[in-house]
Structure 1
Amino acid sequence: MPRERSPWQPDALLLVGHGTRDRLGTEQFFTLATLLREKLAPVDVEGCLLEFQHPTIAEGWQRLIERGARSISVAPLLLFAAGHARRDIPETIQQCANETRDRGIDARYYHGGPLSRCPQIVELLKQRISATLDGSPPDPDTALVMVGRGSYDSCATTDMRLLAEIVAHQAGFQSRAVGFYAMAEPRLPDVLDRAATEPGIRRVVVQPHLLFQGRLYDAICNQVDEARARHPQVIFDVGDYLGPTAAVADALAYRAIGSLKRKPCRA
């Protein structure tokens, strides 16, 4: 049964994904939008994509306006704050609001933050790692390597390093490291080589910090396969991505609530 709307809630939430050319990854994004819609009912939820596919941000915004939304929480489905969160999405939303105002409609909006180190994401990463270890705590001879996409933004890469340290510490790993697929150092192949040659290490758990299936997840798995060939004496296991889960929906709701504590934006 839908719950009653609390005074702090918006009319609607616009979920902004990055977009991917991978069919399954796209389906997973819209599955997550459905989970969020069910969680936040009766608040309206619309999913839209920054790149590659429809609906675009402008199309998603317009759908909400046409359904009567006048107070919209913008929820970026981004792991960390970089160019998309700081510039691309806010500029596009401001343009949407300006065009709406020009048609005589006054719409407020609130910008939510990226998922970053919110508690639901930390717990989900620990669950993914635990599943890779079949529910057992890590042995001293097991190393954890967390890997992110990478960014030229130093704040985003620092945030990834902090997240990796929190997760590794809480999961009980004595040996841990973080690597990046691109645009930041150290790169994943180098980190895997160092982990595999660390004295006493017999197993390396690689946890990709990615939202959905896509080319990047496949590329990381390929790099791990190459590390297996270089280090046959070490077992390499790759964890699952975050996925369209209730935990990610909870994290988005958590960030959306936080955005409503700030002053709304208007055109």
Structure 2
Amino acid sequence: MTKRNVGVLLVGHGTRDSIGTEQFFQLAELLKRQLPSIPVEPCLLEFQSPSIAEGWDRLGRQRVTDVRVAPLLLFAAGHAKSDIPGLVQQCQATTPGVSFSFARPISRHPAIIELVCDRLQHSIDAMERPAERMALVMVGRGSYDPCAQADMRVLSEIVANRLAVTNRATAFYAMAEPRLPRVLKQIATSITARQSGESILVHPHLLFEGRLFHAIAQQVDEVRDQFPDVTIHLSQYLGPDRQVAQAIAGRLELSKQDETP
């Protein structure tokens, strides 16, 4: 059997935010450390370079004949199911000797769950409040795809159970219900009425810095202004972390037989 030279095409969504773009490339370097014997080429779906076609060509120049496409997406929605596959198929049509396969989005990979819990535990420790005095709101970007919405809700339940937080909710920034401002107002109103003294911890389930993170932070600030007696804390997004790279590598399911060109 002819050996196939394996390479990884890491596909990010792309952002106009310079910090978010830099964080994507930082993560690509972490993935390269996870996979030292396999070529890894980062590329972006939109807004920034290199494009998917440029990343594909770079792997070709390294004699890669088996491209493992890793969509850097938290959940499987339109980009993972349609946009990225369509562009990759266009690339493959120009290089018929090169095959490709897709890794699943990192979704609820154990390393992602661990990282979310780490981010939230750091916030809980800083707030100096026990879990029973905390309301957790997990907020996702949102999608019209019902499977992506369900994945976010399941992740929320897993994380809340790990942290022993009983008062929990899932919200979305856009394209799905319930929206973050409504959820925050409902919880803050309940806390105020009960005079429970609970705090609200909001986790923005995003990969990098960018417009979405700042928009979510603004929504949190607006609810803070409306409920000055309720402490609302915004935790950190995932960022270019070793555990994100570990999740990507795990989804690729590479074996020892995968060859370096």
TM-score by length of structure 2 reads 0.91
Look up the match of 1:96.
Answer: 91
Could you say which residue in structure 2 is the equivalent of 1:32?
A: 27
Q: Is 1:69 equivalent to 2:64 in the alignment?
A: yes
In 1, Cα distance between equivalents of 2:227 and 2:133: 15
Work out the CA distance in 1 between the residues paired with 2:90 and 2:27: 26
Residues 9 and 77 from structure 1, CA distance in 2 versus in 1: closer, same or farther, beyond 3 angstroms? farther
Query: In structure 2, how many angstroms separate the alpha carbons of the residues matched to 1:139 and 1:27?
Result: 34
Aligned residue runs from structure 1 range 165-176, under 5 A: 165-176=157-168
1:212 paired with 2:203, answer: no
> Aligned partners of 1:62, 1:214: CA distance in 2, in Å?
28
Task: Give SS of 2:125's match.
Answer: coil
Matched residue, 2:258: none
Question: How far has the Cα of 1:239 moved from its partner?
Answer: 0.5
Instruction: Work out the CA distance in 2 between the residues paired with 1:10 and 1:170.
Output: 41
Structure 1: state its 5+ residue gaps: 1-7, 261-267
Following superposition, the deviation at residue 137 of structure 1 comes to 7.2
Change in 2 beyond 3 A, CA 1:132/1:10: farther
Unaligned runs of 5+ in 2: 256-261
Kept after mapping to 2: 8 A contact 1:11/1:44 = yes
Deviates more, 1:56-65 or 1:189-198: 189-198
Assess if the C-alpha contact under 8 Å between 2:5 and 2:63 holds in 1: no
Give how far 1:201 is off.
5.0
CA contact (8 A) 1:126 1:171 kept: yes
Which residue does 2:117 correspond to in 1?
Answer: 126
Contact 2:4 2:65 in 1 (8 A): no
SS in 1 for 2:136: strand
Of residues 241, 254, 261, the one that matches 1:245 is 241
Deviates most, 19-28 or 62-71: 62-71
* C-alpha distance after superposition, 1:96-136 (max 9, x if no partner): 111112xxxx1121100111111111110000001111276
Query: Which residue of 2 is the match for residue 117 of structure 1?
Result: 108
Distance 1:128 1:236 in 2: 16
Q: Secondary structure at the match of 1:133?
A: helix
For 1:165 and 1:111, the matched residues in 2 are separated by 27
Q: Please say if 1:189 is aligned against 2:189.
A: no
SS at match of 2:156: helix
Secondary structure in structure 1 of the residue aligned to 2:82: helix
* Change beyond 3 A, Cα 1:99–1:137: farther
**Cα distance in 2, alignment partners of residues 163 and 10 from structure 1:** 35
Q: Give the distance between the partners of 1:182 and 1:10, measured in 2 at CA.
A: 41
What is the identity percentage for the equivalent residue pairs of Structure 1 and Structure 2? 52
- Are 1:86 and 2:78 counterparts? no
The C-alpha deviation readout for 1:43-99, integer Å capped at 9, x for no partner, is 000000001111100110011011111111100000100111011111111111111
Aligned-CA RMSD value: 1.6
How has the CA–CA distance of structure 1 residues 100 and 235 changed in structure 2, closer, same or farther, with 3 Å as cutoff? same
Structure 1 residues 137, 73: closer, same or farther in 2, change over 3 A? farther
2:142 and 2:173 in contact (8 A); partners too: yes
Q: Secondary structure of the equivalent of 2:243?
A: helix
Query: SS in structure 1 opposite 2:171?
Result: strand
Find 2:149's aligned residue among 153, 157, 162.
Answer: 157
Q: 1:15 aligns with which of 10, 26, 34?
A: 10
Distance change >3 Å, CA 9–CA 124, structure 1 → 2: farther
Distance 2:130 2:67 in 1: 44
Alignment partners' CA distance in 2, 1:30 and 1:158? 29
Q: CA deviation at 1:10?
A: 5.9
